[in-house]
Structure 1
Amino acid sequence: MADGSARSFKFWAPLAPKIMKTGLRHVLKRSEQSKYWDLRTAITVRIFDIVINESPPNTVTNTQNRTLKDPGIKGNVWISKVKFPSPPEDSIRQVLFNAIEKLKKPEEALGGYTEPELLPVEGEWTGYRANASAKTPELKISEEKKYEEMMREVTSKTTILYLHGGALFLCDPITHRNVNQKLAKFTGGRTFSVRYRLSPKHPFPAALLDALFAYMSLLYPPPGSLHTPVSPSDIVIAGDSAGGNLSFALLQLILELQRSSLKIKWYGEERDILLPAGVATSSPWLDITSSMPSIKNNQPYDYLPKHEMEYKKCSIWPADPPRKHMYVNDPLCAHPLVSPLVAKNWNGSCPIYIATGWEILADEEKICAMNIANQGVKVVFEEYEAMPHCFGIILPKLPGSDLFFQNWARNITLMVDRPNDLVTNGTLIKAKTLATEPLDVLGLSTLTYEKALEMINEKAAQSSSKSS
């Protein structure tokens, strides 16, 4: 107990003066954000900002490991942990590598990435447990029994393939159990939260391979699976932040495989890769190069890194050979499956939902939404006034966060149950009143897709020249 108190004091002591200053400026209405935020929001965002932007450098290993400690399971949630075995065929890897090459620009060289192994994929089935309290412990029964109990309470055919956030090098299904629990509760369905491989030890395309593997496993369950085959029309791919990146990358990958008429040999059968019912994301990270103006312009309303992060040397970072981007070798940072904002062709896509705030990623989200909607794809875009990155997750007591989760779940449900009722629309949700104003999805930004692509390619070229 004494050690815990000492660690707590060591953490909070240097933060206290900065937090007090933030609180005072907010109360006196001297901050830019005070007309939009309550005091709790101002202090919470400032704490995240200090920890991310003003803390002394640590190693990537230590930073990563802090997000991988399982706090245990309790409360109104069913969780069944499973592992899908690898198929005997290598087809899923080869179609991924084929798509990576086909989506490159003609002048780009082949390869440029390490081909990941095909490994079993773990994840967590999650459902809402109604007859439990916040402190109800997990039942000491088998994972199979937990799955059966979960399915007894599932009231909808909706199945969410969830890809967690964490900058593609942090976090795990354990950190996003609450998110999955809420989505399961509000949809009446179930989620499968994927434990994909993390960079920098496992750079692109390892995480994307794991995501495709998980999707195929839902459609065509490997031997020993607890679930029966899930219709693609019942699946929505969802994710936050970096998980939003993977969600869009997986969708673009599926579209490319369909354009190429490719199938995957899966446990002895040639299998189609069918589109899901939809993709639904919170604050998706769509430009790995961070090239858009909002990266600087929206800093007052966000806590994400305001500069290039520095880390102490450890066994996994810096990489050997060196690269700027943890997730990918620098020459591929502007690839459509790495930075989905770059992807040009979204024809034939399933419906898409994007929720964002006034965060530093706002421009890339708006431009991507515009580009996709202008190709005739149904896009629902929600902008939450003055809100930071993934506000619904980090500010759970904010009324706007509850509204966001309800809207997220409602659109997921529409994608599965009433897709014809979905229409392209945009909404601005006011911070304090939650009043709404319409937004034109086809004109969300003055920046065009072509201009954004030019900026990304310029930044990518700079990254490649510095690392070479």
Structure 2
Amino acid sequence: MAAKDAAKDQAAELKKARRGMIWSLLPKIPLLFRVLFSRILGMSETARYLDLETDLTLTVLRATLSSSKPQPISKTQAMTLLDPGVKGRIWIANAVSEVPPERGIREALMDTIRSMSDSEAQAAKFKIPDIVPVEAEWTGYRAGVASDAPLPDIPEEQKYEAMMKECKNATTMLYFHGGAYYLCDPSTHRQLTKRLAKNMGGRVYSVRYRLAPQYPFPAALLDALVSYFTLLYPPPGSMHEAVSARDIVFGGDSAGGNLALALTQTLLQLRRQNVKISWFGTKRNVPLPAGITVLSPWLDITQSMPSWSTNSKWDYLPNPDNFEGREHPSDDIWPTTPPRKHLYVDDAFRLHPLVSLHLNTSWEGIPPVWISCGWEALADEDKYFVSKLRADGVPVVFEEYEAMPHVFAAVLPKVAQTERCVQGWARFITTTRKDPASITSSYTYIKAKTLEEVEGDVEKLTPFEQKDVYGLACSKVGREPPLPLVSPKL
């Protein structure tokens, strides 16, 4: 009864939020007409690349995120956590990573964070997160049902078994949703994870990691590490069997891409130190996954690179100050005690290489990487990262989509670019399982409207070098560069 009442309350809140969104569109009608007339008169630059529906959608998003009266963080966060429900051609089976009796996995992560800290971070204190049960959604494609078919009212184990019967291979994506580390949930990304599951013929383990500002760095990273070990070495009572690292690919968008790469760098550091982790009574190895896949990854937490301003007309992301919480009214969760500037991370750790991932000195030894972005605010950091991976000898498949905004495959599910993106994403994942040795570095530029694929010029991918990105990040947080870069502890 309590569960049904909670579901009714959630549905009511969702309807209320949708009504609010419709009313919020009314003041934007003149802006939409302006876009329309601009296209009719041949004065619109975006019309060369975007269809009318996409152009209007991005205009509304940009106006909503940039000009709306700032809301308390807790209210904005709560709206993105409303579950729209499950129906149609998708399997969802809820799971949880149980808490191990040992604390070895947490201590291993804390040691890694300290070993990679610069002098300021070494001197600072941060809250060490507890190990908690981490929820996740097993997601798979459900064939042969209507688009509005409800999810069967059966136990989660039976949903999982039904999903597994439709999986064509053992490929498992460990997925981390985006949302700037303080918004969204696996439920907001179901359509994207369902499409990935369908195209790769496998399944997705979509993690409900802890959100900031209530749980700042490194809580989400600990949840990610626990979730990976849960796949590899299932705790007693788990409904899944052990998944080989050869069948696991990390995935994530935006902040989720940051988390996927932070987890990868953590594993790399643990392996360099030959660490084994006590997990439910057994010392466990720390393997790397088969591949890493990230869409529009947020790598520079300081948001210091030029594309945040130069690409603003193609993107919908708000001013970087929004991510530091400066404009948000006070509520129960913000500002924090003790106070900090950034929603996600304590001030002294903004340049930590497990936070701003583009500042890592080495990625040598990680598995092949697939990365995609558009003409977005994060383009500079993403392109620099691709160049860095290539320099470190990591096979990296990079796809750039002309005129597309941040995380377009989730924001614009109906455009042809999204289908092309999902297919390329899934094709890379399949290759990591079938023929990983065949993966070589490439740069493909996908043109708008025609989807014509052009081989990109790798030499012109980025004008930035490591000292440049470090200097920009230092300047943004008010430090005097150069500071010593953190080298891996061998």
Class of the TM-score when normalised by the shorter of the 2 chains: over 0.9
> C-alpha separation between the residues in 2 aligned to 1:5 and 1:177?
18
Q: Secondary structure at the match of 1:13?
A: helix
- Listed as ranges, the matches of 1:5-154 within 5 Å are 7=20, 10-105=23-118, 108-154=121-167
Q: Do the aligned partners of 1:113 and 1:328 also contact (CA within 8 Å) in 2? A: no
> Alpha carbons of 1:320 and 1:26: their partners in 2 closer, same or farther (altered >3 Å)?
farther
After superposition, the CA RMSD in angstroms is 1.7
Q: Distance in 2 between matches of 1:222 and 1:275?
A: 19
Q: Work out whether residues 23 and 42 of structure 1, in 8 Å CA contact, stay in contact via their aligned partners in 2.
A: no
Counterpart in the other structure of 2:8: none
* Distance (Å, rounded) in 1 between the aligned partners of 2:160 and 2:18: 39
1:376 paired residue among 393, 397, 401: 393
Q: 1:332-358 deviations in whole A, cap 9, x for unaligned?
A: 001111011111111111000100000
Measure how far apart 1:106 and its partner are: 5.0
| Separation (CA, whole Å) in 2 of partners of 1:440 and 1:12 | 41
Of 278, 282, 295 in structure 1, the residue corresponding to residue 291 of structure 2 is 278
Q: 1:193 offset after TM fit, Å?
A: 0.2
Distance 1:39 1:292, change over 3 A: same
**Runs of 4+ off more than 6 Å:** 1-6
Structure 1 residue 367 corresponds to structure 2 residue 384: yes
Distance across 2 between alignment mates of 1:286 and 1:35: 30
Q: What runs of 5+ residues in structure 1 fail to find an aligned partner?
A: 464-468
CA–CA separation in structure 1 for the residues paired with 2:461 and 2:64: 32
> Which among 166, 173, 178 is matched to residue 165 of structure 1?
178
**CA distance, structure 2, for counterparts of residue 114 and residue 414 of structure 1:** 40
Residues 1:356 and 2:373 aligned together: yes
More deviation in 444-453 or 265-274? 444-453
Distance across 2 between alignment mates of 1:3 and 1:45: 23
Q: Which amino acid aligns with 1:160?
A: M
SS, match of residue 15 in structure 1:
helix
Residue of structure 2 in register with 1:216 after alignment: 229
Partner of residue 321 from structure 1, selected from 322, 334, 338: 338
Distance 1:81 1:111 in 2: 38
Structure 2 CA distance, aligned partners of 1:9 and 1:349? 46
Q: 1:4 to 1:315 in 2, by over 3 A?
A: closer
User: For the Cα contact (< 8 Å) 1:236–1:416, is it kept in 2?
Assistant: no
| CA distance in 2 between partners of 1:108 and 1:81 (Å) | 37
- Kept in 1: contact 2:207–2:224 (CA 8 A): yes
Contact 1:162 1:237 in 2 (8 A): yes
Query: Matched residues in 2 for 1:35 and 1:374: separation?
Result: 35
1:426-465, aligned counterparts within 5 Å? 426-441=443-458, 443-461=460-478
* Local SS of the residue matching 1:217: helix
Q: Is the 8 A contact 2:402 2:446 kept in 1?
A: yes
Change (3 A) 1:108 1:201: closer
CA distance in 2, matches of 1:280, 1:172: 19
| Aligned partner of residue 269 in structure 2, secondary structure | helix
Q: Which residue of 1 aligns with 2:416?
A: 399
Deviation at 1:51, TM superposition (A): 1.3
1:337 to 354, 357, 362: 354
Question: Is the CA contact 1:358–1:384 (under 8 Å) kept in the aligned structure 2?
Answer: yes
d(CA) in 2 for partners of 1:392 and 1:51?
20
Q: Are 1:166 and 1:241, in contact at CA under 8 Å, matched by a contact in 2?
A: yes
Distance 1:229 1:111, change over 3 A: farther
Whether 1:206 and 2:219 are equivalent positions in the alignment is: yes
What one-letter code is carried by the residue in structure 1 that aligns with 2:229? M
1:219–1:229 Cα contact (<8 Å) kept: yes
Name structure 2 gaps, 5 residues minimum. 1-11, 481-490
Q: For the residues of structure 2 that align with 1:278 and 1:8, how far apart are their CA atoms?
A: 38
Change (3 A) 1:130 1:57: same
In structure 2, C-alpha distance between the alignment counterparts of 1:385 and 1:271, rounded to whole Å: 44
* Alpha-carbon distance in 2 for matches of 1:137, 1:228: 27
Q: Structure 2 CA distance, aligned partners of 1:417 and 1:329?
A: 42
Letter in 2 for 1:378: P
Distance 1:51 1:4 in 2: 14
Taking the aligned partners of 2:185 and 2:155, their CA distance within structure 1 comes to 22
Per the alignment, do residues 57 and 99 of structure 1 end up closer, same or farther by CA in structure 2, a change over 3 Å counting? same
Q: Hey, what's the Cα distance between the residues in 1 that align with 2:459 and 2:263?
A: 23
1:179 equivalent in alignment to 2:192 = yes
The 2-side partners of 1:146 and 1:344 are apart by 44
Aligned with residue 385 of structure 1, among 379, 402, 406: 402
Q: Supply the distance in 1 between the matched residues of 2:174 and 2:180 (Cα, whole angstroms).
A: 18
Say if 2:104 and 2:278, in contact at 8 Å, map to a contact too.
Answer: yes
Distance in 1, Cα, partners of 2:445 & 2:247: 28
Partner of 1:304, secondary structure, is coil
- 3-state SS of the aligned residue for 1:34? helix
CA distance in 1, matches of 2:460, 2:275: 35
Counterpart Cα distance in 2 of 1:455 and 1:298: 17
SS at match of 2:148: coil
Q: Which residue matches 1:240?
A: 253
Partner residue, 2:328? 311
CA spacing shift, 1:341–1:9, aligned 2, 3 Å: closer
- Kindly indicate whether the alpha-carbon contact (under 8 Å) linking 2:366 and 2:394 is maintained by their aligned counterparts in 1: yes
Q: What fraction of aligned residue pairs are identical, expressed as a percent? A: 45
Conserved? CA contact 1:349–1:377, under 8 Å: yes
The number of residue pairs the alignment matches comes to 463
Give yes or no for contact 1:370–1:443 (8 Å, CA) kept in 2: no
Please say if 1:417 is aligned against 2:438: no
Assess, with a 3 A threshold, how the Cα gap between structure 1 residues 81 and 345 changes in structure 2: closer, same or farther: same
Q: Which letter maps to 1:417?
A: K
Confirm whether residue 294 of structure 1 aligns to residue 268 of structure 2. Answer: no
Shift of 1:108: 4.4
Q: Equivalences for 1:250-265 in 2 at 5 Å?
A: 250-265=263-278
